[in-house]
Structure 1
Amino acid sequence: MLGWDLDALVSNGPDEVLTETQHAQPALFAVSYALWREFASHVTRPPVAACGHSLGEYTALAAAGGLEYFDGLGLVARRGEAMAAAAEETPSGMAALLGADLGVAEAVVTRRAEEGGRLSVANINAPGQVVLAGGHDDLDWLEANARALGVRRAIRLKVAGAFHSPFMESAAAQLTEALASVPFSRCTFDVVANATAAQITDPLATLVQQLTSPVRFAESLEHIAGRGVSMFVHIGPGDVTAGLAKRTVKESDVRVVSSLAEARAVA
């Protein structure tokens, strides 16, 4: 289906191949979905709602029954290939702003535009954690002028391109074609969209919009918390989104499921 051995690459690497966008996305989707299935088999009631960060939105839709697993696997493979191709068109990347809120980030974007540059807000992850995307020249400018712009420091991220920004327009066009043949079903619980921080009602449009729009993750968490949710469970490798949840919804109980053993223990 993928044209390469997913199990072998996840189990044996090499890491430099596994971490390439076109390989990493199907691998993360598969592992996260497997962890969800194990976790779900031990709980007695479904979640109130779910959200995923970027690629995680596909896992959330699959977990909620809105997207069949193999359809999702094929989609994220196409998505990864399209994003990698878009990243090769123009040298670009992303940078995290330290010590800056969304207002400061937006002011930086405006300032760069006035100088003829091209920066965009790409991730609104948590209070005080905003990521910008742009061309390499734009990011060089950002790093050099961070303090003068009201930013303690700008840290370049190890990513292949300016994801979740207008730099991904060609990838969005390719994803639109791939999504046209994929059936979506009614979700068994709500999934909150990255692009709107509201419940997904049109998965096709939402997933396309996501590629060129900021990931409004903090707002998504706040939306779910506003429905009376006090426990959040991170499901997938690592624990990054768990940390974001702790910073955003400070009174919540945040659990991590990054292994099969944790899936059984947390449930």
Structure 2
Amino acid sequence: MTTAFLFPGQGAQVVGMGADVASAYPAGAGIFERANEVLGFDLRKVCFEGPAETLNTTTMSQPAIFTTSAALLEVLRTEPATSGIVPQITAGLSMGEYTALYAAGLVRFEDALRLVHKRGQAMQAAADATQGAMVSIMGLDEDKVGLLCREAGQGDLLEPVNFNCPGQIVVSGTIGACERAIELAPQHGALKAMRLEVAGAFHTAMMASAADALRQALSACQIGEPGRIKTPANVDAQYYPSAASIVDGLTRQLTSPILWARCMQRLLAEGVDQFYEIGPNRVLTGLMKRIDRKAKVVNLSTADSIKALIEGA
């Protein structure tokens, strides 16, 4: 059996995430304690209690999702009944790529958490300076979304940036262009067009200043050379061949499209027959069902889901 661990990115956060895991499993609680020590503030309280307005910010949601995913992973690794479940591949959606690299043993928990925190801060600063937005388009293929972007752009930046699954593509650009895309989407046959609750035009050139800041932080971080566990890059769906390529891929990710559907299609074509989504919510489980309904996905987002896996092991 070929197993892949999947880790969600920004947008998966929900108030209360991780609280049941920390309460039920000391190994999970320990991860939140380590996160608080690394960051110097009470991230655990924000995850467990909110408020949502704080948790949903770019600067807070990214370290919160990373830590919650790491806590669930730690329980999976340390419980005797599940410790034998090991991946041959790890993958993460956007920010989740950092969790995937941590799970593959290529970056220490503390370093990955600091990087994710820095990433969120840099993206927020770039968003404040550029005033962009993102819109989720449902029901159109890549070509039709491209046509929509050209018509709605009217000279402003607007481009497809998140290829999540067939029929779901996110576009990103200036606020005006995004508003025009919402208005014009029905004329192009879209089932739905909805502005996302994010701070700016992520994964476009409007994040260039964030990419520069992140590259500096990544270059100063110790990243291991890829080995037995493989991780595909969001930017090109190719497995990272070296530590230098990881720095490049994570930097490019901020200004380049996220090719999640292509990454998953590659894993399926190569024979991955068991997926585990490890982290808050069920975002990646839902996307996988639209990529391939037959794919086996176990969602590990709560203490109950871990308990069910243990009992079935």
1:22 to 52, 59, 77: 59
CA contact (8 A) 2:232 2:263 kept: yes
Secondary structure in structure 2 of the residue aligned to 1:255: strand
1:110 is the counterpart of 2:147? no
| Matched residue type, 2:167 | G
Aligned to 2:231: 191
Secondary structure in structure 2 of the residue aligned to 1:146: helix
1:71 to 83, 93, 111: 111
Aligned to 1:159: 198
Aligned to 2:14: none
Secondary structure in structure 1 of the residue aligned to 2:39: coil
Gaps of 5+ in 1: none
1:146 to 185, 196, 215: 185
| Matched residue type, 1:19 | N
Q: In 2, distance between residues paired with 1:120 and 1:84?
A: 20
Identity across the alignment (%): 35
| Matched residue type, 1:131 | V
Secondary structure in structure 2 of the residue aligned to 1:164: coil
Q: TM-score, normalised by structure 1?
A: 0.94
Shift of 1:131: 0.5
Q: In 2, distance between residues paired with 1:137 and 1:209?
A: 25
Aligned to 2:207: 168
Secondary structure in structure 2 of the residue aligned to 1:198: coil
Cα deviation code 1:126-157 (max 9, x no counterpart): 01110100111001111111122342331111
Q: In 2, distance between residues paired with 1:257 and 1:153?
A: 29
1:120 is the counterpart of 2:159? yes
Aligned to 1:135: 174
Shift of 1:177: 1.0
| Matched residue type, 1:15 | A
| Matched residue type, 1:31 | T
Shift of 1:206: 0.7
Q: In 2, distance between residues paired with 1:149 and 1:89?
A: 32
Q: 1:247 to 1:133 in 2, by over 3 A?
A: same
Aligned to 1:58: 98
Which 10-residue stretch deviates more, 143-152 or 77-86?
A: 143-152
Gaps of 5+ in 2: 1-37
Shift of 1:249: 2.1
Q: In 1, distance between residues paired with 2:156 and 2:121?
A: 27
CA contact (8 A) 1:39 1:264 kept: no
Secondary structure in structure 1 of the residue aligned to 2:170: strand
Q: TM-score, normalised by structure 2?
A: 0.81
Shift of 1:95: 0.6
| Matched residue type, 1:174 | A
Q: In 2, distance between residues paired with 1:266 and 1:168?
A: 40
| Matched residue type, 2:131 | P
Cα deviation code 1:39-78 (max 9, x no counterpart): 2331425212121111111000000101110000000000
Shift of 1:221: 0.6
1:258 is the counterpart of 2:296? no
Which 10-residue stretch deviates more, 78-87 or 180-189?
A: 180-189
1:235 to 271, 274, 278: 278
Q: In 2, distance between residues paired with 1:59 and 1:200?
A: 15
Moved over 6 A (4+): none
Aligned-pair Cα RMSD in Å: 1.5
Aligned to 2:18: none
Q: In 1, distance between residues paired with 2:279 and 2:197?
A: 20
Q: In 2, distance between residues paired with 1:59 and 1:137?
A: 34
| Matched residue type, 1:30 | T
